[in-house]
Structure 1
Amino acid sequence: MIDLHYWPTPNGKKVTILLEECGMPYRIVPVNIQQGDQFKKEFLEMNPNHRMPVMVDTEPKDGGKPIVIFESGAIMMYIAEKAGKFYPQDVRSRYEVNEWLIWQMANQGPKSGECGHFRRVDQKQHGDQTYAITRFTDEVNRLYGVLNNRLHKHRYLAGDQYTIADMICYPWTVNWKFQGQDIEEFPYFKRWFEELGARPAVQKGMAVGSDLSVDVTKLPPEEQARIRKMMYNQRAIPVPA
């Protein structure tokens, strides 16, 4: 059984899409990042980077003790390899998938996250954010262009096969409008986006945990401030005494 320590964000939904596509049984263990579950001692023992998701495979192929993996890209490689699906094992195809997996983790995810962050900032409270908004909105536009140009030449990101490279990128594109983008600017990306969005497993994976998340904007101002301070003003956790 796969235990997925999860909260319904794009990084969590990458993994639930894959689990649904594989038809692999799994159990959701909620990690309420708005309440600080990611900083609890038992979670830090699984992921010292205090970020979800974390996967625990209680029945690994080698028959040994449970395997604990953090970082969504590593989790997806493990699950796909175990299932024997969506991750080709010939060297050329595998590394083509790896390229896009790492591209997503190093580029699309961080830059889209910063774009969303600065576009949400209350400028009355924190001052003019024009430079940051323009910087990251333009960078996200550049990344959509990278996807669009790739998908002009190929049906999927790693070629003609639907793989974890597609699954890892998709959840970060569903909020294209909030990211300040116009999907009509990227017709080849739009074709891919609509094709993936119509897949039943993608729809199921994206819906996982929809009953967990809370609209922060509807919380009292003091609670919103507490969550912002906890999530956006983190500094190093000291080594235990």
Structure 2
Amino acid sequence: MIDLHYWPTPNGHKITLFLEEAGLPYTIHPVDIGKGEQFRPEFLAIAPNNRMPAIVDHEPLGGGDPLSIFESGAILLYLAEKTGRFLPADTAGRYDAIQWLMWQMGGLGPMAGQNHHFNIYAPEKIPYAQDRYIRETARLYGVLDKRLADRDFIAGDYSIADMAAYPWIVPHEAQGQKLEDFPNLKRWFDAIAARPATAAAYAKGKAISDGSKPMTDEQRRNLFGTPPKN
């Protein structure tokens, strides 16, 4: 059994996508990041960077004591190795998927995250920052669109590279992007959205929080460490 410490954010969705696809038994332990639950000592014991998701595998690969892992990319790699799924076995294919996983972790996620922050959550609008991150998000969408020009998925068959990238494309409208401008990416996006495991993963997230309520000052402080705007 895997304990998943989770909140329905793009990084959280990555892990439920894998677990639903693989059919692994897991229990979700919500970590309400708006309430500051990511700072609780029991969570910091498994995720010292106070970010979710994190897992505790009670039947770890190789046996032994329960294994805790934080950082969504590391969790995806571990789950792929544990199950032997969603990561090619050959060296070239394996590192093709891994390099695109790293691309998401180092590029698409952080840049889209800044896009979200300055365009949705920032207490004051800074046009330079808004434009900067919208344009950088568009550039990264273009990189992915070009990659998908001659293939169905990012690295061969459906893999952890796709599971990592897809949740960051879901909020494309909020990022100032139109999928119609990226036809290869749109085809890929629609194919993943139609997978039953994707629907199941997002339904579980929505059951916990649909993100529809306005952000309070307390939530802003817990998420961003910033004082409320006067």
Whole-Å separation in 2 of the counterparts to 1:215 and 1:189? 25
The reply to whether residue 21 of structure 1 matches residue 21 of structure 2 is: yes
* RMSD, matched Cα: 1.5
Partner-residue secondary structure (3-state), 1:210: helix
Amino acid at match of 1:148: D
Amino acid at match of 2:117: H
Partner-residue secondary structure (3-state), 1:96: helix
Whole-Å separation in 1 of the counterparts to 2:53 and 2:153? 25
Q: Percent identity?
A: 49
Whole-Å separation in 1 of the counterparts to 2:17 and 2:211? 23
Question: Which deviates the most, 225-234 or 21-30?
Answer: 225-234
1:230 counterpart residue number = 222
Whole-Å separation in 2 of the counterparts to 1:218 and 1:135? 25
**Number of residue pairs matched by the alignment:** 226
Partner-residue secondary structure (3-state), 2:56: strand
Alpha-carbon contact 2:38-2:50 (below 8 Å) kept: yes
The reply to whether residue 69 of structure 1 matches residue 69 of structure 2 is: yes
5+ residue gaps, structure 2, are: none
TM-score (norm 1): 0.90
2:203 counterpart residue number = 207
Give the C-alpha shift of residue 104 in structure 1.
Answer: 0.5
2:57 counterpart residue number = 57
Whole-Å separation in 1 of the counterparts to 2:87 and 2:40? 33
> Structure 2 residue aligned with 1:170, among 154, 160, 166?
166
Give the C-alpha shift of residue 217 in structure 1.
Answer: 4.2
Alpha-carbon contact 2:13-2:205 (below 8 Å) kept: no
1:146 counterpart residue number = 143
Question: Which deviates the most, 75-84 or 210-219?
Answer: 210-219
TM-score (norm 2): 0.94
Partner-residue secondary structure (3-state), 1:151: helix
Alpha-carbon contact 1:80-1:164 (below 8 Å) kept: yes
Whole-Å separation in 2 of the counterparts to 1:121 and 1:2? 33
Larger Rg: 1
Alpha-carbon contact 2:54-2:70 (below 8 Å) kept: yes
Alpha-carbon contact 2:34-2:218 (below 8 Å) kept: no
Give the C-alpha shift of residue 215 in structure 1.
Answer: 3.9
